[in-house]
Amino acid sequence: MSGLIKAIRGFSDVPPEEAWKYNYIEELAREHFQKYGYREVRLPVVEATELFARGIGTATDIVEKEMYTFLDRNGQSLTLRPEGTASAVRAYLEGGWKSWGGIAKIFYTGPMFRYERPQKGRYRQFYQMGLEAIGAGHPEVDGEVVALLHRLFLRLGVEDITILINSLGCPVCRPSYRSELVGFLQDLAEELCSNCRKRIEKNPLRILDCKVPTCRENLSDVPVMIDHLCGECSHHFERVRYCLDGLDVPYAIDPKIVRGLDYYNRTAFEAICGRLGSQNAVAAGGRYDGLAREIGGDVPGIGFAMGIERLRLVMEWKGLHIPLPEFYVASATENARLTAMTIADKLRSMGSRVETDLETRSLKAQLRSANRMNIRTVVIVGDDEIAKGTVICKDFSNNTQQEIPLDELFSKTAAVNRR
Ligand code: ATP
Ligand code: MG
């Protein structure tokens, strides 16, 4: 026998006792996003490498060192998507979604891939649900998107989440701020970690959210973008806050929030949860008015993506359960086996979750199975019952049993399932 093949590092299976949680989060979010007029799209998992190189920016961690890039059989360079925004904007431009009129409101869900160091809350394949509002630059859009995210956390029942917002300026005000920042950082270079030193010229903003304690200390009075906003950016930021205040969305301004991706401008935000330790960002997003220009179009947009694994970790699962089968249809005799299967079939067609025996086991073994699966109602059918057109219903919750006409089982189930 050859050796057991295992999943590769950073890629893992999501077993049933976890997968239902992903579904729970995704279903609830799906329904929530739809309330605001967002519609689901499905985007490719693989894109031309150039889309991410141009759309995310070559000076970012993602493009520099986290992408899964390979040549296909034609020699074209392809990349497993590390995030969804670049694809969403590409799809908007390519599909002419401008013709929908107004703001294209879309969301997506699925696996993303980044070559990172796996640890709790950080994997190489992970699941994101992302939402994008493409087509308008107005601060009201930003306000509603952040409010929508906050309301989603309320609906999911996670309360200890903090929303942090910042403004990253625009091509008018960022360059002069950037040079001031670079000057400040160069004076400090000796004190910074090696990673930050490398970033001074290439991606100085990213230094602001370095997690190394000495860097944090040294950067306590670093110049920040929100003190250098141009008139328009400053007005935009004020309007966003005005909306959030009016909608009663709690938030804090954190001038050190920067996004890892180059195309962000103006509003940037993160939702963090202290319980997660160093992988504390549950969702992150912002405005990316410059992204489309990098990939051959021109349209403003804003969006966010949330990490399903991290949300799963901070959610309270008590009281929420993976749906159990409602019935076990057992056969008392060999002859009744097919009848049991047809009863199960009919109950399922009425919307119930039903188990039945497929291994020709004894009645006793079937009852044991039902018990192990925590199934409350066992329907037993044998030769006598077939002759009478009845079944025996055994209720494990109070250990009672009664014989009822088969029709009654169906009509009662139909009534319960209609509710
Ligand atoms: P971090 O600073 O934690 O690396 P990021 O800025 O790279 O996050 P984004 O690109 O903004 O993250 O992705 C949005 C969300 O996706 C994050 O807030 C997080 O919840 C989740 N996420 C990002 N990378 C991973 C990963 N490798 N494993 C699991 N979840 C992730
Ligand atoms: Mg990252």
Atom of ligand 1 lying closest to residue 83 CA: 10
> Residue 120 CA: which ligand is closest?
1
Taken in order of first residue, the domains within the chain and their CATH numbers are 16-173+229-317 (3.30.930.10), 327-417 (3.40.50.800)
pTM for the complete prediction?
0.91
Rounded to the nearest angstrom, the distance between the alpha carbon of 278 and the centre of ligand 2 is 11
- Distance, in Å, from the CA atom of 9 to the CA atom of 125, rounded to the nearest integer, reads 10
Rounded to the nearest angstrom, the distance between the alpha carbon of 107 and the centre of ligand 2 is 21
Closest CA to 39 of 143, 133, 102, 147: 133
Count of Cβ atoms closer than 10 Å to residue 217 Cβ: 9
Structure tokens at 249: 């969305």
Rounded to the nearest angstrom, the distance between the alpha carbon of 212 and the centre of ligand 2 is 15
Helices (H), 157-218: 174-188, 194-202, 213-218
Rounded to the nearest angstrom, the distance between the alpha carbon of 281 and the centre of ligand 1 is 7
Per-residue pLDDT for the chain (419 aa), expressed as one digit of tens each? 789 999 999 999 999 999 999 999 999 999 999 999 999 999 999 999 999 999 888 878 888 899 999 999 999 999 999 999 999 999 999 999 999 999 999 999 999 999 999 999 999 999 999 999 999 999 999 999 999 999 999 999 987 899 999 999 999 999 999 999 999 888 888 888 888 888 888 888 888 888 888 888 888 889 999 999 999 999 999 999 999 999 999 999 999 998 766 678 999 999 999 888 878 899 999 999 999 999 999 999 999 999 999 999 999 888 888 888 999 999 999 999 999 999 999 999 999 999 999 999 999 999 999 999 999 999 999 999 999 999 999 998 888 999 999 999 999 999 988 87
> Residue 82 CA: which ligand is closest?
1
User: CB of 307 closer than 6 A to ligand 1?
Assistant: yes
Atom of ligand 1 lying closest to residue 118 CA: 27
Atom of ligand 1 lying closest to residue 282 CA: 20
User: CB of 282 closer than 6 A to ligand 1?
Assistant: yes
Closest CA to 130 of 52, 43, 56, 58: 43
3-state secondary structure of 335: helix
User: CB of 260 closer than 6 A to ligand 1?
Assistant: yes
